[in-house]
Structure 1
Amino acid sequence: MTSAILSDRGLLRREMRARRRVLGHAERTAAARRLAGALMRHPAYLRAWSFATYLANDGELDPTWLVRRAWANGRHCYLPVLVERPEPMLRFAPYTPGTRFRCNRFGIPEPDVPRRELLPARALDLLLLPLVAFDDLGNRLGMGGGYFDRTLAYQLGRSWVRPRLLGVGYAFQQVPTLAAAAWDVPLHGIVTECGPVEIARQPTCLEGEA
């Protein structure tokens, strides 16, 4: 990926983050409630009894309304935990109403649980990923750390693997196209406060994959 493309991604990331941070409380709450309704009707969620979500940060669309319903319905919820060794990636900790938290090195709260309780991504049915931007091919622009891509690299080039990946973001975060690198793991679906976004193709191997 060229320096010009990386610069464009950086600019887009700054613009989208600024745009979602200026949303008012009422707008955020209304969008979060609509998102929960859309996700609860989504086939990937209806088939999932274990799923990972996230704690909204930096203006992200908040999935809390969905989590409350999931707990009430007996689903098993998880949150990502940053693991530094053997390489920086994510594992997933149980998330219940009684979960205790600590902050990771980025200041983001994570469940404070023993490492033995952490699960790999492939043990889950569904993973909700926060978005900075997305396109209609299922490409996702994240915060730039690469943690989700490293964690999910085993999915590249495979048509059916666990978990299914649903990106979550505001409708205004959709862009015509995103330049994808070989290590970018495409999504199986995207859901906004306006409902599901149809992906133009099923995720496949990206250019440059070995």
Structure 2
Amino acid sequence: MSNQTSNLRKQLKQQRKNISSFQQARSENQILSFLIRYPKFQHSNKIGIYLHAFGEIHTKKIIEYCFKMNKLVYLPMICNMNQHLVWVKISQHQFRNKKFSMHHLSMLEPKSSRGFDVSTLDLLIMPLLACDQNGTRMGMGGGYYDRTLASAPHHPYRLGIAHDFQILEQPLLKQKWDQPLDALITPSNHYHFKRQSSQ
């Protein structure tokens, strides 16, 4: 990783961490308001989404809305055998009662012995540290989403959600393994990308 990329990642992590609870709640409401009207979300039944833990856009209200609309909700779990993500379907009861375990990377995971391949999902709502105008996504650095999506290039639809400061004007350095987004929603804007091959 270049020093420039390392410094950018460090800066964005800190900026995300410093967001107030008021601003987080406002941003989540604004993104949910857009999602409700978003055709891809409306027509998707199997929704993959994350549990926020590191200053990402909060997802509690989005998940509750999915349950309200009778959508199936899937959360990521790290497969220790290959360091890919698998997707575990959860119930509203499980979510509300916080029946999760803590992974050593400090993220909550659903308690399950098995999960589904990412290609099972219709829509994948993804966290990120940064995204550029071409849909190149910078994650936390573990490469879990990139490894997982590399084996499912056409499905599901990849939707990033992020704070406004996380969309960058300057292009990110794209690596051959980077998996691009189809679209990005921020509290004040919406971006569509023409997905390029990562090869």
Contact 2:119–2:152 under 8 Å retained in 1: no
| Shift in alpha-carbon separation, 1:52–1:70, aligned structure 2, 3 A | same
Following TM superposition, by how much is the alpha carbon of 1:96 offset from its aligned partner in structure 2, in angstroms? 2.1
Partners of 2:53 and 2:4 in 1: CA distance: 23
Contact 1:89–1:148 under 8 Å retained in 2: yes
Deviations along 1:100-152, one digit per CA (max 9) or x if unpaired, are: 2111121211000122xx10000000101101000110100000000000000
Q: Which residue matches 1:109?
A: 108
Aligned AA for 1:145?
G
Following TM superposition, by how much is the alpha carbon of 1:162 offset from its aligned partner in structure 2, in angstroms? 1.4
Q: Which residue matches 1:135?
A: 132
Partners of 1:37 and 1:19 in 2: CA distance: 24
| 1:93 partnered with 2:85 | no
Match of 1:169 among 148, 152, 162: 162
Indicate the SS of the match to 2:14. Answer: helix
Q: How many residues in Structure 1 have an aligned counterpart in Structure 2? A: 194
| 1:54 partnered with 2:46 | no
Partners of 1:193 and 1:57 in 2: CA distance: 19
| 1:150 partnered with 2:147 | yes
TM-score (norm 1): 0.88
Calculate percent identity across the aligned residue pairs. 26
Gaps of 5+ in 2: none
Aligned AA for 1:130?
P
Following TM superposition, by how much is the alpha carbon of 1:195 offset from its aligned partner in structure 2, in angstroms? 3.5
Partners of 2:167 and 2:73 in 1: CA distance: 27
Aligned AA for 2:175?
A
Indicate the SS of the match to 1:187. Answer: coil
TM-score (norm 2): 0.93
- C-alpha RMSD over aligned residues: 1.3
| 1:67 partnered with 2:54 | no
Which 4+ runs in 1 deviate beyond 4 A?
none
Partners of 2:149 and 2:122 in 1: CA distance: 13
Q: Which residue matches 2:34?
A: 38
Gaps of 5+ in 1: none
